[in-house]
Amino acid sequence: GNSVTQMEGPVTLSEEAFLTINCTYTATGYPSLFWYVQYPGEGLQLLLKATKADDKGSNKGFEATYRKETTSFHLEKGSVQVSDSAVYFCALSDILTGGGNKLTFGTGTQLKVEL
């Protein structure tokens, strides 16, 4: 079946450092790809998405490009802040029998940003 692989965490960075969180996927067809963020004690929030090859999703300074040739969707940010400390999940959409899609998630990568 379809799957998502993310880099292990935690990732610890100093404020203003460059961030990359790697994500690769295995899927049949051309799923939509997502990054979700989970702040401590909260549910998941959509950070950005891309629906087809070469699309770039962006939000709040984060970016990710849908690379079909490498089956990747790496998350990047040029200058992280302490407030970016959270767990980041890469996900793809999977078609469900009976209609609709479900999200298949990676294991999550915890990011800690220090002053």
Partner 1 sequence: NAGVTQTPKFQVLKTGQSMTLQCAQDMNHEYMSWYRQDPGMGLRLIHYSVGAGITDQGEVPNGYNVSRSTTEDFPLRLLSAAPSQTSVYFCASSYIRTGGNYGYTFGSGTRLTVV
Interface contacts to partner 1, rule CB under 8 A: 4, 32, 41-46, 89, 93, 96-103, 105-108
Cβ-based nearer residue to partner 1, 40 or 70? 40
Burial class (CB within 10 angstroms; exposed 0-12, middle 13-18, buried 19+) of 37:
buried
Separation of alpha carbons 13 and 32, rounded Å:
29
CB of residue 96 vs partner 1: minimum separation in angstroms? 7
Taking residue 12's Cβ as centre, other Cβ atoms within 10 Å add up to 12
Cβ-based nearer residue to partner 1, 8 or 114? 8
Cβ-based nearer residue to partner 1, 79 or 107? 107
CB of residue 110 vs partner 1: minimum separation in angstroms? 10
Distances (CA, A) of 81 to 7, 13, 44, 113: 20, 9, 19, 6
CB of residue 30 vs partner 1: minimum separation in angstroms? 11
Cβ-based nearer residue to partner 1, 40 or 115? 40
Spatial contact of 111 and 9, defined as CB atoms under 8 Å apart: yes
Residue with tokens 């490498």: 70
CB of residue 40 vs partner 1: minimum separation in angstroms? 11
